[in-house]
Structure 1
Amino acid sequence: MALEKSSIEELLGNDADSLLSHVCETIPKEKLHIPSSTYVDDVWYHSDRGNRVLQNLQRILNHGRLGGTGYVSILPVDQGIEHSAGASFAKNPAYFDPENIVELAIEGGCNAVASTFGVLGAVSRKYAHKIPFLVKINHNELLTYPNSYDQIMFGSIEKAYDMGAAAVGATIYFGSEESSRQIVEVAKAFEKAHELGMATVLWCYTRNSAFKVDGTDYHASADLTGQANHLGVTIEADIVKQKLPTNNGGYLALNSGDSSYGKLDQRIYDELTTDHPIDLTRYQVANGYMGRAGLINSGGASGKDDFAQAVKTAVVNKRAGGMGLISGRKAFQRPMEEGIKLLNYIQDVYLNEEITIA
C-alpha cells in the first residue's frame, strides 16, 4: 500500500510544512521541462538522440512502480569498487552476490539497476531482459596506496552493449586535476553509447580539497554542483546524477581575498536561488537545460533516519522539478525486506499526486 500524504508529512516531521507548502519564486516552474508520461515525446524526441536511444529511455521510464510517470527510482550498487566491497557489504554480506543486487532492484520496483561490468555481467543472461541495466563504465578504486582519487575506465561501451544494457553511466570529478582527461574520455564513451543506442547517465560530482574553505565544505553547494551539471549535459548526458545541495556560495568563497576562481554573477545568489533546499535544487535542474536532461539526486550514506531522509530527498527533488532518486546504501545495507520498503517509500513520493512542483 502506497504512503498517504499524511504519512509522508509524519516522516518529514518539522520540515513538512516548509517542504510541502513552499512556492518557488526564483526560477518559475513554467520554465521547466517537467517529467511526465510523455517526456520522451516532449523532450528527447526533439534532440539528436537516435531511435534506439529513445527506445531505451522509454524502456527505463516505463519500468517498475514508477513506470509511465516520467520519474525514475534507480538502485545503484557500485560501492564495491568506490568504497571497497568489505566496507560496503559487511552490514549485509548477501550483496556480495550480484544476483541479490538485481533481485533487490526488481522486488523494490525500480526503473533500472546500476552496477559494474562484473556485477551485471555475472547475471546478464538471467536478468538483462527483466530489468533495464545501467552499466557503470568508470570507477574510483581505493586499493592503490596511498589512496588516489581518480575515475578510470573499467570496460568498453561495446561490452555494455553486448550485455544488453539500456544505458551506461560514468562519473566525472569536476574541479579535480584529472577532470580534463575524464571529460574527454567520458564524452567519447557517451558518443559511442548513443551511436549504439544506449542512454547516458553522468554522476556530476565535484572534487577538490580547495572546495573546503574556512571549515565549510562547498562540494555540494548549489552553484558549483549546478555548473557541474551544466558541463555534464554539454557532453550529452541524458540524465545527470547529483548530490542534493547542502549550501550555496562556493564561487563566492573561492573568490574571497586575493584568490580568483571561475566566473560568477551575483544574481545567482540574489535572484536565482534562496537558502531553501527546493530553490537550491531548482538551480541544479535549471543547469540541466531547464530539465531537458533529467536530474536525479543521490540518496546518500546509510544512517539512523534512512526512511525519513529518503522521503525528504525525494520530496525536494520532485518539487524542484527533478526526475527522481538513485539510492543505494540506504537500501542494500539492510535486510532485503527493509530495502524494498525504503525504495517503495521513495517511489510513493513520486506516485502521490498531491505532492506537486513548487
Structure 2
Amino acid sequence: MNAGTRARLERIGTDGNYLTVPMDHGVTLGPVKGLKDIESTIDAVTRGGADAVLTQKGIAGRVHPNKNDAGYIVHLNGSTVIGPDENDKRMTGSVEEAVRVGADAVSFHINVGSDHEPDQLTMLSEVTKEAERYGMPVLAMAYARGPGVDEQDAESLGHAVRLAEELGADVVKTAYSGDAESFAHVTESTAKPVIIAGGSPEGDRTTLANVRGAMDAGGAGVSMGRSIFQHDDPEAIATAVSAVVHDDASVDDALERAGLDA
C-alpha cells in the first residue's frame, strides 16, 4: 500500500474501524426520505460520529460544506429498482473524476454469483488498477447475490470478500450472516478490514445487535445507509452505532448513550 492510499484510509476511518453512511440511494431508489435535504442528513450523521459519507459524484458539491471534516467516498457504479435488472450495476464514474470532486476514497459494488459477475469482476479490476495510480483507497461492496445464492450464507460471503481482496480492494463491505459465529468465517477469509451493510431497517436494537455481532466476529465496522439516513433521528442512531464500532459499547449502553428507546 502506498503512502497516499494509507493517508486517505485514515480520513475515512478511526483507528482502523469504519462507520460509513452510504447515501447513493438517490440513483437506486430515487429521492427517498433522508435524501431530499441531503445537506441536513449529512450534517446530522457526521455530527453523530460517522467517519465518512458516500455518494455518487454529482452530489459532491452538496457534501463538502456539510460533512464536518468527515471523509468522503465516491461510488463508481449503480442501477435502479425500476430498471430491467437491479443487479446489473454499470459504471457511473472514474477514479480520476473522484479525485476532481475531492474524494478520499472510491467504492464499487459487485454481485458475486449474479449473471453480471464476469463484467463486474473486470470493472472492479480496472478500478483498483486506476486507484493504485492515484493513491486512492477502494471500498469494494462485495455481495453474494444471484440466482440460487443465499445472500447470508457465510461460505458465499467469505468467497465474496476474498475475491475483493484478490482484485485489490482495501476495505470490503458485505452482508451480515446473521450471527457472530458464522460471520467469523467471513472476517477470517480476508486480511482486509470487513464491514457490514445495514440492509433494510429492522429497528434500533436489531441494528445495533448486528453491529455488535459483526464486531465480536472480527469485523471492522459498518457501511450503513437506510438504517441511519432514514432514521427519525439520524444523529442519534449514528451516535449509537459509533459507540459500538469505536468505543466497544454494548447494545444497551449504545442505546442509552444516544438517548434511544430500546
* TM-score normalised according to structure 2 size: 0.88
Structure 1 position 98, deviation (Å):
3.3
Amino acid at match of 1:320: A
Change (3 A) 1:80 1:236: same
Residue 107 in structure 1 maps to residue 47 in structure 2: yes
How many residues get paired?
Answer: 250
Residue 183 in structure 1 maps to residue 121 in structure 2: yes
Residue 234 in structure 1 maps to residue 166 in structure 2: yes
RMSD: 1.9
Residue 159 in structure 1 maps to residue 82 in structure 2: no
Query: Which one of the candidate residues 210, 216, 221 is aligned to 1:319?
Result: 216
Q: Is the 8 A contact 2:165 2:190 kept in 1?
A: yes
Aligned partners of 1:106, 1:298: CA distance in 2, in Å?
18
Change (3 A) 1:350 1:106: closer
Query: Which one of the candidate residues 273, 297, 302 is aligned to 2:196?
Result: 297
Structure 1 position 354, deviation (Å):
7.0
Amino acid at match of 1:74: T
The within-5 A match list for 1:117-132 is: 117-119=57-59, 121-123=60-62, 126=65, 130-132=69-71
Amino acid at match of 2:200: A
Amino acid at match of 1:107: R
Q: Is the 8 A contact 2:8 2:136 kept in 1?
A: yes
Aligned partners of 1:284, 1:313: CA distance in 2, in Å?
14
Q: Is the 8 A contact 2:45 2:229 kept in 1?
A: no
Query: Which one of the candidate residues 6, 11, 21 is aligned to 1:75?
Result: 21
Amino acid at match of 2:224: S
Aligned partners of 2:207, 2:242: CA distance in 1, in Å?
10
Structure 1 position 137, deviation (Å):
0.3
Query: Which one of the candidate residues 343, 346, 349 is aligned to 2:238?
Result: 343
Residue 284 in structure 1 maps to residue 182 in structure 2: no
Query: Which one of the candidate residues 76, 83, 103 is aligned to 1:137?
Result: 76
Aligned partners of 1:236, 1:333: CA distance in 2, in Å?
32
Report the counterpart of residue 153 of structure 2 in structure 1.
221
The within-5 A match list for 1:204-215 is: 204-211=142-149
Amino acid at match of 1:240: V
Match of 1:95, SS state, is coil
Aligned partners of 2:235, 2:63: CA distance in 1, in Å?
22
Change (3 A) 1:161 1:129: farther
Q: Is the 8 A contact 2:19 2:245 kept in 1?
A: no
Query: Which one of the candidate residues 53, 57, 60 is aligned to 2:12?
Result: 60
Q: Is the 8 A contact 1:106 1:131 kept in 2?
A: yes
Aligned partners of 1:57, 1:354: CA distance in 2, in Å?
24
Report the counterpart of residue 98 of structure 1 in structure 2.
38
Residue 85 in structure 1 maps to residue 30 in structure 2: yes
Structure 1 position 111, deviation (Å):
0.6
Match of 2:138, SS state, is strand
Identity rate, percent: 22
* TM-score normalised according to structure 1 size: 0.66
Structure 1 position 104, deviation (Å):
2.8
Q: Is the 8 A contact 2:45 2:228 kept in 1?
A: no
Structure 1 position 51, deviation (Å):
0.8
Structure 1 position 147, deviation (Å):
4.0
Aligned partners of 2:45, 2:239: CA distance in 1, in Å?
11
Amino acid at match of 1:172: I
